Amino acid sequence: MLIAEQNLNTAQKDFVLRIGADFPYYAEHCLKLRAKSGRIEPFILNTAQQYIHERLEAQKAETGRVKALILKGRQQGCSTYVEGRFYHRAHMGRGLRAFILSHESDSALNLFNMAKRFHDNCPEGLRPMTERSNRQELIFAGQDCSYRVATAGADAVGRSETIQLFHGSEVAFWPHADDHASGAMQAVPDEDGTEIVLESTANGMANLFHSMWVMAERGESDYQAIFVPWFWQDEYKRKVPDGFNLSAIKEEEGQLSEVDYAEAYNLSLGHMAWRRAKIAELGINGAEKFRREYPASSAEAFQTSGKGLLIPPEDVIAARKLKNIRATGPRIGACDPAGDGEHGDRTVIAIRQGRIVLHVEIIQGRNTMEVVARIVELYRKFRLDKMFIEKDGLGAGIVDRAKELTDGIIGVNAGNVGVMQPDRYFNKRAECAGRMAEWFADKPVSIPDDDEIQADFSCMRAQYDSNSRLKLESKIVIRRDFGISPDIFDAIGLTFAFPVTAYDRATHKHEFYVPNEGVNTNERHNYKPGRSANRNR
C-alpha cells in the first residue's frame, strides 16, 4: 500500500498501522460486501468468520504460515472471509500473488466480483492503484501484488506459477482434484508468510478433500482441520410457529429424533423451526441432504446414511453428549496395535469402566518398546483389572513384553480363536464389536465427545455370513471405501473381549468418577460463539 505517511497526523498513522495488522478492524472500516439482504454493508465478521480467523492467526503465529482445511455448511461466509483476508494481504503487502481456484466458472466469477467490490468500495486514499483489472485478475501498481481467480477444470492450472496465497473453494467438488493438488497447490512454497486455505461443504468420502480432512483431523499432516457447525449462524433461526413442538420420532433409520437432536447440540426452538423448514425445502431425502449441507459435526457431514451401520449414529451421538455418570465395575484397558505402517493404521489404547469410556489415546511414530512402556504406564495410572491386547502381527511382541512387566495382560486373537459364541459371531473381532453394539444400545453410556471417534463408528457396516453370524468388513475394504482405518472402533471394542471381574481389594473399591478425557493425540478445542479462545493446533 502506497501512502505518503509524512502527510498523516498521529491519529491517521495509528489508523494505518492498525488496518495493516488487524484484519477484522480493516474489514469493518475498509471492505464492503453485499449482504444476504442485497444491501452493500461494511464487512463485520460473524461468529463463524471470527472463529476461522482465530484459528488461522494462531497457526500463523505458531508456524509462520497457514495451512488449513475448513469444513462448513452453506452460506456461512467462509469464502467471503478468505477473499477478504487475501485482499487485505495483497493490499497491504508487496510481491504477493493470491490465487483462487473454484469448482465451477459461476462460482469463480462470484468470488472475483466479491474481490472487485472490495476494491471498488475501498475508501479514497487507501484504495491501491491497479495496473490491470479484468474479469479474472487484479494487479496492484507499484506493489507487485496480484489477485487472480480460475476454475478447476480438466487442466491443472497454476502449475507454472509461484503463489503465496492460495484459496481452494468447494474442493470436494473439484473435477480432477488430484491434478490440481499437484499443480496449483504445489506452486505455493513452504515459506513463512504463505497461506493455503481449502474450504468445502462435504461431498461424500471418496475425494481429495475427505482424505486430506482425515489426515488433518488425525494430526498426520501440516494442515489443521477447522469445522464450523450450521447453528452458529444467527440467521439460521426463525420465529417459532404457534403450536410448534419437537418430534420424538426418528426422522430416518439410525438418526436422531428432533427432541434428541436439539438436546445433543443444545439448540433452541428457533433453530429447530428453521431446520425443519429447511429439510422440507430440500425435498426428497431432505434430512440426509441437510446433514451434508448444514452439518452439526464433521462426522455428520461425511455420513450419508445410518442404514446398515453396526452401531447407529444416534447411539454414538447420545453417548458423546452424556456426561457426569458414575463409573462402576472393573476397569478394562485394550490396545489395538498398528499394523505394518503402510496402510495408515495407528496404535490406539482405550480404557473403559462399566458404562463409561474413560480414555482414548492414539500413538504414532513409536517403536514396540515405547508402546509397551505406555501400556504399562496407563495400566498402573488407571489401576486396571485387565488389559486386552490384539496380538496378531506386531501385537505378539507387545503382549509378550507387557506380560513380563505387569500382571493382567491378555493377548487376543482377532480370528476364530477364543470366540465365546461361535454360533453368533464369525470371529473374535466381530464378537467384540457385537458386544460393544449391545453396550451402546443399553443406554446410558458415555464416550469422549469427539468427531474422530464418531467417524470411526460411521464406517462400520454390519454384515452376516451364510450362517447368519455377524461379520465385519476388513480394514482394507474400509480404507478403500472411506479413506480411514477404524482403529479407535477396534480398540474400544476390544475392551469387551472377555468378561472381567474386579479384584476385591480392601483399600481400593472400583467405584469412582473420572472426567471423560477424550482423544489426547491432538488437543481438542471447546470454542463457544462469543468467547475468545487460544488455539493449540
pLDDT per residue as tens digits for the range 19-63: 989 999 999 999 998 887 788 899 999 999 999 999 999 999 999
Q: Where are the domains of the chain?
A: 5-232, 237-292, 318-512
Least confident span in 18-22, 39-43, 105-109, 507-511: 507-511
Take residue 522 and report the three cell numbers written for it.
491432538
| Distance between first and last Cα of the chain | 32
Q: Which of 39-43, 284-288, 352-356 is the most confident on average?
A: 352-356
What pLDDT digit, counting tens, does each position of 399-434 carry? Answer: 999 999 998 999 999 888 889 999 999 999 999 999
CA atoms within 13 A on the CB side of 282: 17
The DSSP letter of residue 479 is H
If you average pLDDT over residues 377-383, what whole number do you get? 94
4 pLDDT more than 70: no
Least confident span in 51-60, 126-135, 158-167, 171-180: 126-135
Give the per-residue pLDDT at 12: 78
Using a 10 angstrom Cβ sphere, with 0-12 exposed, 13-18 middle and 19 or more buried, the burial of residue 343 is exposed
Of the two residues 41 and 159, the one the predictor is more confident about is: 41
Class of domain 5-232: alpha beta
Cis-peptide into 175, omega within 30 deg: no
298 pLDDT more than 60: yes
Beta bridge partners of 196: 67, 166
Q: Are 432 and 493 in contact (CB under 8 A)?
A: yes
If you average pLDDT over residues 221-238, what whole number do you get? 94
Q: Are 74 and 173 in contact (CB under 8 A)?
A: no
CA atoms within 13 A on the CB side of 41: 9
When pLDDT is cut at 50, 70 and 90, the band that residue 398 belongs to is very high
CB-based burial, 327-342: b 16+ in 10 Å, e otherwise:
bbbbbbbbbbbbbeee
List helix spans (H) across 127-239.
177-181, 208-217
List helix spans (H) across 67-219.
78-92, 105-120, 177-181, 208-217
Q: Are 225 and 298 in contact (CB under 8 A)?
A: yes
If you average pLDDT over residues 71-78, what whole number do you get? 91
When pLDDT is cut at 50, 70 and 90, the band that residue 534 belongs to is very low
Of the two residues 128 and 65, the one the predictor is more confident about is: 65
Percent of the chain surpassing pLDDT 70: 88
When pLDDT is cut at 50, 70 and 90, the band that residue 336 belongs to is very high
What pLDDT digit, counting tens, does each position of 237-282 carry? Answer: 999 999 999 999 887 766 788 999 999 899 999 999 999 999 999 8
The continuous run of DSSP H or E covering 349 comes out as: strand 347-353
Give the per-residue pLDDT at 515: 39
If you average pLDDT over residues 163-186, what whole number do you get? 84
Give the per-residue pLDDT at 156: 60
Q: Are 333 and 359 in contact (CB under 8 A)?
A: no
Give the per-residue pLDDT at 304: 60
Give the per-residue pLDDT at 421: 93
Same fold, 5-232 and 318-512: no
Of the two residues 509 and 527, the one the predictor is more confident about is: 509
536 contacts: CB under 8 Å, gap ≥ 6 = 523, 525
> Mean pLDDT of all residues in the chain?
84
Q: Are 141 and 160 in contact (CB under 8 A)?
A: no
Class of domain 318-512: alpha beta
Give the per-residue pLDDT at 350: 97
Q: Are 201 and 293 in contact (CB under 8 A)?
A: yes
Q: Are 101 and 155 in contact (CB under 8 A)?
A: no
Give the per-residue pLDDT at 126: 83
The continuous run of DSSP H or E covering 475 comes out as: helix 475-482
Give the per-residue pLDDT at 267: 95
Give the per-residue pLDDT at 323: 81
Give the per-residue pLDDT at 283: 87
Other CB atoms within a 10 A radius of the CB of residue 240 amount to 15
